[in-house]
Structure 1
Amino acid sequence: MDDDLIPVTIITGFLGSGKTTLLRRILQGKHGLRIAVIENEFAAESIDNALLVQDSDEQIVEMNNGCICCSVRGDLIRILGELQAKRAAGTLVFDHVIIETTGLAAPGPVAQTFFAEPSVSAFYMLDAILTVIDARHAQQQLTEHREAQEQVGFADRILLSKTDLVSKEELAVLRQRLLAINCRASMQKVSFGNVPLRDILNIRGFNLNAIVELEPDFLGQLGHRHGDGVQSFVYHQPQPLDLEKVENFLDAIVQLFGTQLMRYKGILYIEDTPCRAVFQGVHMLMGSELGAPWRDGETRASKMVFIGRGLPQDTLIRGLDRCVVGYQPPPPAVTYNADTVP
């Protein structure tokens, strides 16, 4: 049961965006939570715990061996295991875990840990990825650094900092660029880490089913958009789908293009099924489950969001169209020449 799992929030964002300021704000907030923090600094020297914790019960666990990525994911698994062991033994009490990644890393490998490692997924649930964007320097960072684009692409919430340093016109242009990269993440301003905690903690942002139950129109207004190296698009299908065909097709897509697919989520309208089906994945790791029942009179349709690099959009659209119940391929085109026309 998800309710038995420890929620985990990942805070990411490029260097200087305001991640530590946001983390300090969370730790000082009146939320009633005891939070364990996994700190990941690229520099040899970590931040001073006193910067973060002031008269609180939070636990700081630091990883000082560079970015959390494939080379050190074992350390993350180990630390999460140690935290859980201490929690089970009663020597450490916490309700929530926050992982702050270095500004030079993409959060994908961290997110994958909560899908791929049974010893982690048995006790922890990825609640959301929060990406802090420095409005003053974001345009340059997005242009010059692949990691900055991927941090936006993986986000469940985008928090815009330093917006007072740019004009309204510059901010509007930046919003459009961010929306082109990730058309599913909500955006809001954050000033010196001040953001309503209800908007960033225990939001089940990584659980699409929970989002749709709270916000039925979450996917409804998204369109086809592209931008930067990371792009996103939404597939809509009003007709019922054949679940077996969908699963076989997506399995093949993940095998072929999994490294390009950063995040993908969707609500599926399956034939003869009273509940919506929910699927989501990170790179080559994909899962699905039955979600909330369709309400009486509710318009049923499938809506899928894909975010990644070099997305095979035409292949995805054609393949998913072929998963429609009763799909009949169009007849082959017939060509005529002057000699054969009566």
Structure 2
Amino acid sequence: MTAPTTIPDSDTAATTDHRVPVTVLTGFLGSGKTTLLNYILTAQHGKKIAVIENEFGEIGIDNDLVINADEEIFEMNNGCICCTVRGDLIRILGSLMRRRDRFDAILIETTGLADPAPVAQTFFVDEEMQTKLRLDGIVTMVDAKHVVLHLDESSECKEQVAFADVIVLNKCDLVTPEELDQLERRLRGMNAVARIVRTTNAQVELEAVLNVGGFDLDRALQQRPTFLEPEYPFEWAGAFHFDEGNATLVINDGPDPEMTVMAWKLPNTTADAIAEVQDRVAVFFSADPQEIAPGQGFTLGTTPVSVQLDRGGEKRFLLNLPERGAYALFTQHHPDEFSMRVEQQGHVLAAASEHVFNPEHEHDEEVTSVGLEFAGEFDQKKLNSWLGELLMTQGTDIFRMKGIVAIKGAAQRFVFQGVHMLFDGRPDRPWGETPRSSQLVFIGRNLDRQALHDGFHACLA
């Protein structure tokens, strides 16, 4: 097990990153990786790219073959790149760096059955690699027509999606727009922070896959404002003003035979009041719910209820309210999907404010993502200690970690990424007049969002 690298003092680090950018191209068998690779090699982009090709026999060339005098292709011919990162890959990368003047970037294509994690780890494990190369991004090709056959049974396919900085959704002409939207929602549920590019025959703008700056969260937020919205176990919350006594939830048949609901006391009915409690509610909402049948009631508390919606039309559930005031209802699905309404004393109540969570996401039971953001500055020693302990104890389940952090006393942004138990980070450009705000993203299995939130928050200076 390798301990994570500690955060270096920004005063002693270079402000400009002169390391060679490396792009890892991955994707399940038949997704179109080689098609994209050939497109990159023949496109007029003015870049000299060294390629490490791992699909033995697909291209069949000698190690030093130069294509169009612009690209060099090296072939790893002894099987899966996962098994050779300590040998052939490091050897080839070392050989490449002795000819640094002959290329501008490196592209590594893995086999369709490769777990991309060991490839990414190469750029953290070897100290010489860290000083000369930087992992610019992991680009995952996804076969829009056939990937659903593999997502449920292939851990490699899932991890290729989970590790991606960019997902190229290929062969879009082979599926309907509805199927494409459904697939994209599922991919978003597995990796909420990757940029998804739709294409046919792997024809993409090269800027989408080369020099992407995979962990440049500022750019990602510009492209998609909801980019860092964390995964919640509920899709909707509404704030209501109730009188003391009983209110009624009227719920009709919907896409699921049940729906989890939770009620929470609020200081007022504003959207800000919902935002203040949503993280705390999420912790309790994720617990095993108590099942209730139509006609039964529930009260406020830290245990969610699962309302049973057997076929047969409209169902009514009672909510007991101990006092008059503002309350929030959190629901697993959007109320519109179940024609849900809230009544009290014979009147239908409208939510004074509401919020829709994860509007583009569907949850995958194994792989999820967590995004955190805090204003203010962080204590360097506290952050080092927390990240070290976290990655040493939970690194197996953390596929990717990346972020931008404001360190107290440092004029520069600190940009980093981690792969399982390994961590790499460096000072970036100065903050200047930009407000100091830190973002941290985790992608992996069994992620405890509240624990990550509390741990990160405890590191504030």
Smaller-chain TM-score bracket: 0.7 to 0.9
Q: Report the CA distance shift for 1:278/1:95 in structure 2 as closer, same or farther (over 3 A).
A: closer
Q: Aligned equivalents of 1:124 and 1:238: distance in 2?
A: 31
For residue 61 of structure 1, report the CA deviation from its aligned partner.
1.0
Q: Aligned equivalents of 2:405 and 2:19: distance in 1?
A: 26
User: 1:1-342 alignment to 2 at 5 Å?
Assistant: 3-41=17-55, 45-49=57-61, 55-85=68-98, 87=99, 93-205=102-214, 208=215, 211-212=216-217, 214=219, 217=222, 221=226, 222-225=228-231, 226-296=363-433, 298-325=434-461
For residue 276 of structure 1, report the CA deviation from its aligned partner.
3.2
Q: Report the CA distance shift for 1:118/1:288 in structure 2 as closer, same or farther (over 3 A).
A: closer
Q: Answer 1 or 2: which has greater helix percent.
A: 1
What root-mean-square deviation, in Å, do the aligned CA atoms of Structure 1 and Structure 2 show? Answer: 2.5
Q: Aligned equivalents of 1:245 and 1:145: distance in 2?
A: 38
Q: Aligned equivalents of 1:321 and 1:292: distance in 2?
A: 24
For residue 179 of structure 1, report the CA deviation from its aligned partner.
1.0
Q: What does the per-residue CA deviation read over 1:100-155, in whole Å, with 9 as the maximum and x for residues that have no partner?
A: 10000111111111111123223222222111100011122111111011111111
Equivalent residues of 2:217, 2:403 under 8 A apart: no
Give the share of equivalent positions with the same residue, in percent: 45
**TM-score normalised by the chain length of structure 1:** 0.83
For residue 195 of structure 1, report the CA deviation from its aligned partner.
0.8
Equivalent residues of 1:213, 1:292 under 8 A apart: no
SS of 1:259's equivalent in the other structure is helix
Equivalent residues of 1:277, 1:290 under 8 A apart: yes
Equivalent residues of 1:265, 1:304 under 8 A apart: yes
Larger RCO: 1 or 2 (CA < 8 Å, sep 6+): 2
For residue 29 of structure 1, report the CA deviation from its aligned partner.
0.4
Instruction: Name the larger-Rg structure.
Output: 2
Counterpart AA for 1:135: A
Q: Aligned equivalents of 2:40 and 2:24: distance in 1?
A: 13
Equivalent residues of 2:80, 2:111 under 8 A apart: yes
Q: Which residue of the partner structure matches residue 338 of structure 1?
A: none
For residue 10 of structure 1, report the CA deviation from its aligned partner.
1.0
Q: Report the CA distance shift for 1:36/1:216 in structure 2 as closer, same or farther (over 3 A).
A: same
Q: Aligned equivalents of 2:447 and 2:47: distance in 1?
A: 39
Q: Which residue of the partner structure matches residue 329 of structure 1?
A: none
Q: Aligned equivalents of 2:161 and 2:383: distance in 1?
A: 28
For residue 322 of structure 1, report the CA deviation from its aligned partner.
2.3
Q: Aligned equivalents of 1:64 and 1:324: distance in 2?
A: 48
For residue 214 of structure 1, report the CA deviation from its aligned partner.
4.6
Q: Aligned equivalents of 2:410 and 2:77: distance in 1?
A: 49
Q: Aligned equivalents of 1:238 and 1:202: distance in 2?
A: 28
Q: Report the CA distance shift for 1:6/1:267 in structure 2 as closer, same or farther (over 3 A).
A: closer
Q: Report the CA distance shift for 1:38/1:146 in structure 2 as closer, same or farther (over 3 A).
A: same
Counterpart AA for 1:319: G
Counterpart AA for 1:76: L
For residue 46 of structure 1, report the CA deviation from its aligned partner.
4.1
Q: Which residue of the partner structure matches residue 247 of structure 2?
A: none
Comparing 11-20 with 29-38, greater Cα deviation is found at 29-38
Q: Aligned equivalents of 1:159 and 1:276: distance in 2?
A: 29
Q: Aligned equivalents of 1:72 and 1:105: distance in 2?
A: 12
Q: Aligned equivalents of 2:202 and 2:378: distance in 1?
A: 44
Q: What does the per-residue CA deviation read over 1:221-251, in whole Å, with 9 as the maximum and x for residues that have no partner?
A: 2222242422111112235433322221111
Q: What does the per-residue CA deviation read over 1:243-292, in whole Å, with 9 as the maximum and x for residues that have no partner?
A: 32222111110110112111111222444544433332111111333333
Equivalent residues of 2:402, 2:440 under 8 A apart: yes
For residue 216 of structure 1, report the CA deviation from its aligned partner.
5.7
Q: Which runs of 5+ in 2 are unaligned?
A: 1-13, 232-362
Q: Aligned equivalents of 1:164 and 1:306: distance in 2?
A: 32
For residue 160 of structure 1, report the CA deviation from its aligned partner.
0.7
Equivalent residues of 1:46, 1:64 under 8 A apart: no
